[in-house]
A and B are shown apart, each in its own frame.
Chain A
Amino acid sequence: MVARGVPQTLRRGLTFWRRSIQARVVVSTVLLSAIVVTAVGWLLLRQVERGLVDHRVDAVLVEVANEDGQASQSLKAIPATDSDASRQAQSLYQGLQTSGSARGFSVVVVESGRGDQPLDDRGPEASTHQAVDSVPTSLVRHFDLVPAGELAPHPAWTYTTIHTKTGPGSFTSVPGIAVGSQFLIPADGSTRTVYYLFPLDDVQQSLALVTRSLLTAGVLLLLLIAALTWLLTRQIVTPIRLARRVAERLAAGQLQERLRVTGEDDLARLATSFNQMATSLQRQIRQLEELSRVQRRFVSDVSHELRTPLTTVRLAGSVLHEARASFDPQAARAAELLQVELDRFETLLVDLLEISRFDAGAAALDLDDVNLADVARRVVDSTQALADARSTRVVVSAPETPCIAEADVRRVERIVRNLVTNAIDHAESRTIVVTVAADDQAAAIAVRDHGVGLAVGESALVFNRFWRADPARARTSGGTGLGLAISLEDTHLHGGWLQAWGKPHEGAQFRLTLPRWANHPLRHSPLPLVPEDAAEVVA
């Protein structure tokens, strides 16, 4: 459940991301600003830190000089008769320690000139044991380099980390400054090195405060930028979304939809241009509709005007044909040709008128429940004469149960008649099988012949108007070349499929599939397009 929920949320998020300009602009602006704000903040913080530390170092050095002065004073004040060096050193340490605990620094005092020994082994006097560890070795080495019996001319300092014991076994470490200076013990002329350890925790606290302020300011700035970007993009995106909605309605056929134009800015001009486009589209569509209406009218008129004289010619031709026995042979043959060609002319005219009716969108369905098995049998009965003439057997293979589809029976019969006569034309006197099948979603008729078949790619061409497989082939049954094109239009009118399969010298199969209810979506056909016997050949 969760596993399925996460990708779905992710997908929804991605979709939102892809679709929303606003989201993308806001997020990218905020990201860029965040990078800039972080860089600026970091630089600022470094500057402040350096300033604070430098200031503190100056103060520390002044303080050390001060302490050094006092310690020197007290050492000088010792009478020359006093020869107890260790007491003098002790008092030096005591003085510094007292002032250190009052001012917040630690001191470590060691005898100078005992190089190469760790500070711990030099018998240090220290405020705390940890203070000894905190003296950096670089500083110790600096004083070790001073020759014995001499004093380093200046105090030296460096940064360090100061460890403080906070409880048994636990320490805290704060950054600090270590300053070293040397003193001469008057009693024996030996020198002592004093290390002062100043913690920088107050600087650190100030820095933390500054960091917090900068962070807060940065976050607030980012929020402001996000809000501003969101507002700005909203101003642009809202009219675009409105335009999109209107465009969708226009596309859905509501041609009177227009955008509301307010103001004179770029968006208002966009809206004006959009509306002009919509008006021009509407006008052109009206024109096309008008043209289509005129075309339909024209077809209807042509139909009437052409049919009446053709009927007269037809009747006259028949009368001549009936009477041809009393003509001389040439006139009799002429009467026969007249009759045959009139038949062809009539079929062609009827087909042309039918196809122009489809083109004009004037074809209408007269729907009823149709049993395709009955249709197949009727068509096979009515094409019996043609089949006999070509000594071809046509067999119907239909289930006992009716194969019902909601359809226009005239059109379905026309489709099936076209398929069957077409098959008879190309079957080369081999048996033709008309298979009917149905399920609860669709009904289908397949017409299978074992004649010349179709070459590769021809199964897509057979439905083209006036297309012929072989132009050199004799036009035997007098087909107009429009039959399959009309059948395809008829099928589309029902929302059905009409498909062809064929292989050279293995015959062809045409399959008509009609949805159980007209114009319901078709997903499958109850019959295979490639006939089973052909599939075996392939296997």
Chain B
Amino acid sequence: MTQAEDSRARVLVVDDDASLSEMLSIVLRQEGFDSQVVDRGDEAMDAFRVYRPDVVLLDLMLPGKGGIDVCKEIRAESGVPIVMLTAKGDTIDVVVGLESGADDYVVKPFKPKELVARIRARVRRNEVPGSDTLTIGPLTIDVAGHAVTRDGQPVSLTPLEFDLLVCLARKPWQVFTREVLLEQVWGYRHAADTRLVNVHVQRLRSKVESDPENPEIVLTVRGVGYKAGTAGQQ
């Protein structure tokens, strides 16, 4: 039994609505996840450190401390996948959430299957085959070691940003549309919210580019998508 419990993925639910939290726990348990509920923003960090979840479900409007701040604090400590629960589908709310470090978002009201699919995609990381070392511009990517260095200095990336970078670096000759990236990196089909890709590319650039305004590593191909920079390619 203990063995089984341990193998179950842990989900930390941070939401102030008690009914929704309880309902989420029920659904998650049915789907084979272990979950813990926190109803205040200022208690989220303590719970996070104790519970060590595999995924965080984070509501944006929380008492005590806002969801955006909680998101930033978790991100400062860990690359654990964060899925935002937002009641507002407006671009600006979604973008602010994603920019503060969330990997994905679900707009309320969502269908349970949709939520579970997103959590599964985040928990079951796309295991990148191979253990080679990739080079893209001044970056060196150790695929097996999940490490990126820029001119010898380590760069800290979240797993998602790492996957995005590896996906682009593997085929530097290919232009990836946002839809292809959503499928290969996020693992979604037909979920065509390309804002996810846009914001993550920006976040990745701010970490790996020397000048994010004039990117050299992740290039935009207008009207199509993104590709890896050819500068210094070997």
Contact residues of A with B, CB < 8 Å? 300, 303-304, 307-316, 318-319, 322, 346, 349, 357, 362, 364, 366, 368-371, 374, 378, 381-382, 402, 404, 409-410, 413
Q: What residues on B are CB-neighbors of A346 within 8 Å?
A: 109
Q: What residues on A are CB-neighbors of B30 within 8 Å?
A: 319, 322
Within the complex, which residue of B87, B112, B222 is in contact with A315, where a contact is CB–CB below 8 Å?
A: B112
Known contacts A303-B87, A308-B87, A315-B27, A371 near B223 by CB under 8 Å: yes
CB of B4 within 8 Å of the partner chain? no
Q: What residues on A are CB-neighbors of B190 within 8 Å?
A: 378, 381-382
Q: Is the CB of A309 within 8 A of B87?
A: no
CB of B19 within 8 Å of the partner chain? yes
CB of B195 within 8 Å of the partner chain? yes
Q: Is the CB of A308 within 8 A of B17?
A: yes
Within the complex, which residue of A311, A409, A410 is in contact with B109, where a contact is CB–CB below 8 Å?
A: A311
| Complex CA distance for A322 and B113, rounded to whole angstroms | 11
CB distance from A41 to the nearest CB of B (A): 81
Q: Is the CB of B108 within 8 A of A311?
A: yes
Within the complex, which residue of B17, B24, B90, B179 is in contact with A378, where a contact is CB–CB below 8 Å?
A: B179
| Complex CA distance for A332 and B12, rounded to whole angstroms | 32
- Taken residue by residue from 172 to 200, chain B's Cβ proximity to chain A (1 for < 8 Å, 0 otherwise) reads as 00000101000000000010111100100
Q: What residues on A are CB-neighbors of B110 within 8 Å?
A: 311, 314
CB of B76 within 8 Å of the partner chain? no
Q: What residues on A are CB-neighbors of B108 within 8 Å?
A: 307-308, 310-311
Q: Is the CB of A402 within 8 A of B87?
A: no
Q: What residues on A are CB-neighbors of B177 within 8 Å?
A: 374
Q: What residues on A are CB-neighbors of B50 within 8 Å?
A: none
Q: Is the CB of B109 within 8 A of A364?
A: no
| Complex CA distance for A44 and B232, rounded to whole angstroms | 105
Q: What residues on B are CB-neighbors of A371 within 8 Å?
A: 223-224
Q: Is the CB of B223 within 8 A of A319?
A: no
Q: What residues on A are CB-neighbors of B195 within 8 Å?
A: 366, 410
CB distance from A332 to the nearest CB of B (A): 18
| Complex CA distance for A313 and B20, rounded to whole angstroms | 9
Closest to B112 in A: A318
| Nearest 6 interchain pairs by C-beta | A369-B223, A304-B87, A307-B108, A311-B109, A310-B109, A307-B87
| Complex CA distance for A371 and B223, rounded to whole angstroms | 7
Closest to B17 in A: A308
Q: What residues on B are CB-neighbors of A315 within 8 Å?
A: 20, 23-24, 26-27, 112
Within the complex, which residue of B27, B109, B193 is in contact with A307, where a contact is CB–CB below 8 Å?
A: B109
Q: Is the CB of A364 within 8 A of B23?
A: no
Q: Is the CB of B20 within 8 A of A312?
A: yes
Known contacts A314-B110, A346-B109, A308 near B20 by CB under 8 Å: yes
CB of B147 within 8 Å of the partner chain? no
CB distance from A394 to the nearest CB of B (A): 15
Q: Is the CB of A318 within 8 A of B194?
A: no
Q: Is the CB of B20 within 8 A of A311?
A: yes
Q: What residues on A are CB-neighbors of B113 within 8 Å?
A: 318
Of B112, B190, B224, chain A has the most CB atoms within 10 Å of the CB of B112
| Complex CA distance for A357 and B190, rounded to whole angstroms | 26
Q: Is the CB of A404 within 8 A of B223?
A: yes
| Complex CA distance for A311 and B23, rounded to whole angstroms | 9
- New A-B pairs, 13, CB < 8 Å, besides A303-B87, A349-B109: A307-B87, A308-B20, A311-B108, A312-B23, A319-B26, A319-B112, A357-B90, A364-B91, A364-B92, A368-B198, A371-B223, A378-B190, A413-B192
Contact residues of B with A, CB < 8 Å? 17, 19-20, 23-24, 26-27, 30, 61, 87-88, 90-92, 108-113, 177, 179, 190, 192-195, 198, 222-224
Q: What residues on B are CB-neighbors of A319 within 8 Å?
A: 23, 26-27, 30, 112
Q: Is the CB of A312 within 8 A of B91?
A: no
Closest to B91 in A: A366
CB distance from B198 to the nearest CB of A (A): 8
Q: Is the CB of B223 within 8 A of A314?
A: no
Known contacts A308-B87, A364-B91, A314 near B27 by CB under 8 Å: no
Cross-chain pairs A/B with CB under 8 angstroms, 5 sampled:
A300-B88, A304-B88, A308-B17, A311-B20, A319-B26
Q: What residues on B are CB-neighbors of A303 within 8 Å?
A: 87-88
Q: Is the CB of A378 within 8 A of B192?
A: yes
Q: Is the CB of A314 within 8 A of B87?
A: no
CB distance from A99 to the nearest CB of B (A): 116
CB distance from A50 to the nearest CB of B (A): 95
| Complex CA distance for A410 and B112, rounded to whole angstroms | 22
| Complex CA distance for A357 and B92, rounded to whole angstroms | 14
Q: Is the CB of B19 within 8 A of A309?
A: yes
CB distance from B76 to the nearest CB of A (A): 27
CB distance from B89 to the nearest CB of A (A): 8
Closest to A321 in B: B112
Q: What residues on A are CB-neighbors of B23 within 8 Å?
A: 311-312, 315-316, 319
Of A307, A315, A410, chain B has the most CB atoms within 10 Å of the CB of A315
CB distance from B44 to the nearest CB of A (A): 18
Within the complex, which residue of A312, A370, A381 is in contact with B19, where a contact is CB–CB below 8 Å?
A: A312
Q: What residues on B are CB-neighbors of A311 within 8 Å?
A: 20, 23, 108-110
| Complex CA distance for A318 and B20, rounded to whole angstroms | 13
| Complex CA distance for A224 and B90, rounded to whole angstroms | 71
Q: Is the CB of B222 within 8 A of A369?
A: yes
CB distance from B4 to the nearest CB of A (A): 21
Closest to A318 in B: B112
Closest to B21 in A: A312
| Complex CA distance for A364 and B90, rounded to whole angstroms | 8
Q: What residues on A are CB-neighbors of B87 within 8 Å?
A: 303-304, 307-308
| Complex CA distance for A315 and B112, rounded to whole angstroms | 6
Closest to A409 in B: B194
CB distance from B37 to the nearest CB of A (A): 13
| Complex CA distance for A362 and B192, rounded to whole angstroms | 23
Q: Is the CB of B91 within 8 A of A314?
A: no
CB distance from A504 to the nearest CB of B (A): 35
| Complex CA distance for A510 and B190, rounded to whole angstroms | 24
Closest to A302 in B: B87
Q: Is the CB of A304 within 8 A of B27?
A: no
| Complex CA distance for A303 and B195, rounded to whole angstroms | 21
CB distance from A522 to the nearest CB of B (A): 20
Q: What residues on B are CB-neighbors of A313 within 8 Å?
A: 109
Q: Is the CB of B88 within 8 A of A314?
A: no
Known contacts A319-B26, A319-B30, A314 near B109 by CB under 8 Å: yes
Closest to B194 in A: A409
CB distance from B91 to the nearest CB of A (A): 5
Q: What residues on A are CB-neighbors of B194 within 8 Å?
A: 368, 409-410
